[in-house]
Amino acid sequence: MTTTAAAVQLKRVFLSYAWENDEFRLWVKRFATRLRDDGVDARLDDWHLPRNGNIAEFMNREVREADWVLVLCSPGYQAKVRATEDGVRVAGVGWETRLLTSTLLVTNQNKVLAVLARGEWQTAAPDSLLGQVYFDLSRPETFEKQYAALLTAILGNEEKAPPLGALPRELTEESVGALRYDAGDEVEPVSRRPARLNRWARLRQEALAFLAIAVVLDLLLAWFVKATLTFAPHTFVEYCVMFSVVALVLAAAVRWLSIVIRRRRLARG
């Protein structure tokens, strides 16, 4: 056994079918042999039920210990199940038909995997399984593909959904957080703190932008005066200090004007 196969947990499968004829019983045996060749512990009455064994006890034990119950549907299976449900005594009805009407199966319906072994689904499946998804092994041309899908379901190797990621930041900023209080802090819900921190971040950005505009305006004013006044009684740095207040006022005006323009554009848009 390879490392990959050893890593997969051994699955125990109980096969339920109707004894229609020798040809079909041979097909069931070959099918069970294929499962066992692929590492599935397929349980079959011909192999695991002693000749003097009790059918009801064998059925209950196998269903209880199985990971999956494979119901091999065929026209004979449907006919025998319906006859049993109608209270008609049918010769040769085995534990397969009792299985579907037992209380144990009713409480373990999630264990059932339906397989179409012969015929058409509407005339082969018991009424309790007609609405269930099934694997069609009745046609040779599609057998291998359907068998691979069935084996995947038995081993639990179906494609899993990808893990959930984090919500986009714009959706989580205003979300309501869990109610928690830190000892010694003011009574403030933790859910409000991210919004408060975001406001402080925006204020810092506004202040930096304002100072940048003021510095640029101050440098431009000092350069203009230094360049236009031929006598230039002061140095460039002195002019920068002299015009710093004027630059701050002009920067405030520029920021205010930009806010007004942006609001008007948003109102028109």
> Phi-psi bin for 125: left (phi > 0), alpha (psi -120 to 50), beta?
beta
Q: Is the pLDDT of residue 235 over 80?
A: no
Task: Provide the pLDDT confidence category of residue 95 given band limits of 50, 70 and 90.
Answer: low
Question: What is the average pLDDT value for the chain, to the nearest integer?
Answer: 77
Q: Is the pLDDT of residue 21 over 80?
A: yes
pLDDT in tens, 45-56: 888 877 777 777
Q: Is the pLDDT of residue 6 over 50?
A: no
**Calculated CA dihedral for residues 190, 191, 192, 194, nearest 10 degrees:** 90
User: Contact 89/52 with Cβ under 8 angstroms?
Assistant: no
Distance (Å, rounded) from C-alpha 68 to C-alpha 112?
A: 6
User: Contact 31/137 with Cβ under 8 angstroms?
Assistant: yes
Distances (CA, A) of 132 to 87, 100, 158: 25, 14, 18
pLDDT in tens, 149-208: 999 999 987 778 888 888 776 665 555 667 776 655 555 554 555 555 567 777 777 778
Among 56, 6, 13, residue whose Cα is nearest residue 31: 13
Environment class of residue 191 by beta-carbon count within 10 Å: exposed (0-12), middle (13-18) or buried (19+)? middle
pLDDT for residue 3: 40
pLDDT for residue 89: 59
pLDDT for residue 185: 53
Distance (Å, rounded) from C-alpha 115 to C-alpha 70?
A: 7
Query: In terms of DSSP bridges, do strands 68-73 and 40-43 run parallel, antiparallel, or are they unpaired?
Result: unpaired
Q: Taking residues 108-131, what's their average pLDDT?
A: 86
Task: Provide the pLDDT confidence category of residue 232 given band limits of 50, 70 and 90.
Answer: low
Distances (CA, A) of 240 to 120, 213, 215, 219, 244: 94, 14, 9, 6, 6
> Phi-psi bin for 161: left (phi > 0), alpha (psi -120 to 50), beta?
beta
Distance (Å, rounded) from C-alpha 9 to C-alpha 15?
A: 19
pLDDT for residue 5: 45
Distance (Å, rounded) from C-alpha 84 to C-alpha 39?
A: 34
Residue 68 is inside which H or E element, if any? strand 68-73
Identify the top-confidence range among 12-21, 35-44, 182-191, 256-265: 35-44
pLDDT for residue 165: 82
Q: Taking residues 208-215, what's their average pLDDT?
A: 80
Q: Taking residues 138-158, what's their average pLDDT?
A: 91
What is the C-alpha R_g of the chain?
Answer: 40
pLDDT for residue 177: 65
Among 193, 164, 200, residue whose Cα is nearest residue 176: 193
